[in-house]
Amino acid sequence: MTEVHDRLREDEHLRPLVEEHGELTLEPADDFYQRFVTSILRQQVSMASAAATRERLFDAVEVTPEGVLDADVDVLRDAGLSQAKARYVRNVAEAFLERGYSREHFEGMSHDEVVDELTTITGVGEWTAHMQLMFALGREDVFPVGDLGIRKGMRNVVDPDLTRAEMVDYSERWSPYRTYASLYLWRAQDDVSEDVPGAVQD
């Protein structure tokens, strides 16, 4: 990983974060569907709320596409999912079964192609698709500017007046390792837990 972090250390704004937090690694989740569900639970809620709902859901049902589809919707609601999110996790389950989703399914597809396909699922927006690119598929060059924590990090670390477009332009200097840069940006604010990035979208 030295090449990745040497590249990031070249940026004067990221260098202190690399030194402070060490050489962070990207470790794709073992279970693609479970990671997808976790992203849906984190849509537009606090980290604490999402974590509590995740714990209840994983205790209540087998979090596989089959298990979620077999579960009564009331069970999902009792676990803390809103009516919309209960529908979303079922929509994703159906997509996994009908389309045969796996890491191998997306090999050879560009980031944009993956996002385009995933966002055909009702309840899956660009932010959720970017989280899958990063934390399920292990793509190394993703910059999720739609994430509030990323934008806070950019403004804290680089320039408080940056627009989204300027953030994307600036991030090009970190390519092809923008996912790693994002891991550091999430750690550049006090209100996002360092062990669970990608907490907030808007």
The predicted pLDDT at position 16 comes to 95
DSSP codes joined into one string, the chain: -HHHHHHHHTSTTTHHHHHHH--------S-HHHHHHHHHHTTTS-HHHHHHHHHHHHHHS--SHHHHHHS-HHHHHHTT--HHHHHHHHHHHHHHHHHT-SHHHHTT--HHHHHHHHTTSTT--HHHHHHHHHHTS--SS---TTBHHHHHHHHHHT-TT--HHHHHHHHGGGTT-HHHHHHHHHTTSSSS-TTS----B-
Q: Spell out the domain ranges in the chain.
A: 2-26+143-186, 32-135
**Predicted model pTM:** 0.91
For residues 86 and 202, give the distance between their C-alpha atoms in angstroms, rounded to a whole number: 20
The predicted pLDDT at position 200 comes to 43
Whether 201 shows a pLDDT value over 90: the answer reads no
CA 138: distance to chain centroid?
Answer: 10
Chain segment 133-170, per-residue pLDDT in tens:
999 999 999 999 999 999 999 999 999 999 999 999 99
Q: What integer best gives the mean pLDDT of the chain?
A: 92
Fold (topology level) of 2-26+143-186: Endonuclease Iii, domain 2 (1.10.1670)
The predicted pLDDT at position 1 comes to 63
The predicted pLDDT at position 46 comes to 85
Whether 194 shows a pLDDT value over 80: the answer reads no
Fold (topology level) of 32-135: Endonuclease III; domain 1 (1.10.340)
Chain segment 27-52, per-residue pLDDT in tens:
999 999 999 999 999 998 888 999 99
Chain segment 79-119, per-residue pLDDT in tens:
999 999 999 999 999 999 999 999 999 999 999 999 999 99
